[in-house]
């Protein structure tokens, strides 16, 4: 039982890091931290909520964890977006 839980946590961590790297490097908008944070937070919160809930309440744990994770991730992403300087348009062809 303990090995299976550890395996699930490691798998979830690797998955979150993978998705985090993909969304941050391929983001076309430099101010997309709010969306990226909400998506990664929802994924992480769902995984953590599912794994930490009891056997009979895993579905509701995943839902609550996903909602809380999305809210926290969006808040952090919004803070990052507001601290980034606005893009400069130099005009002409790019």
Question: What does pTM read for this prediction?
Answer: 0.59
* Residue 53 buriedness (CB in 10 A; 0-12 / 13-18 / 19+): middle
Given this model, what pLDDT does residue 26 score? 47
Token pair of 54 as six digits: 């009891």
What sign for the dihedral angle of Cα 53, 57, 11, 14? negative
Q: Are 23 and 36 in contact (CB under 8 A)?
A: yes
Residues 73-94 have pLDDT tens digits of 888 888 888 887 777 777 777 6
DSSP codes, 37-86: HHHHHHHHHHHHHHHHS-GGGHHHHHHHHHHHHHHHHHHHHHHHHHHSPP
């Amino acid at each position: 039982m303990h090995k299976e839980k550890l395996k699930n946590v490691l798998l979830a961590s690797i998955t979150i890091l993978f998705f985090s790297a993909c969304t941050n490097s391929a983001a076309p908008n430099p101010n997309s931290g709010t969306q990226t944070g909400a998506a990664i937070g929802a994924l992480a919160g769902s995984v953590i909520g599912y794994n930490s809930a009891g056997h009979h309440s895993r579905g509701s744990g995943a839902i609550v964890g996903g909602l809380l994770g999305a809210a926290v991730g969006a808040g952090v992403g919004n803070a990052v977006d507001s601290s980034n300087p606005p893009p400069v348009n130099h005009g002409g062809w790019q």
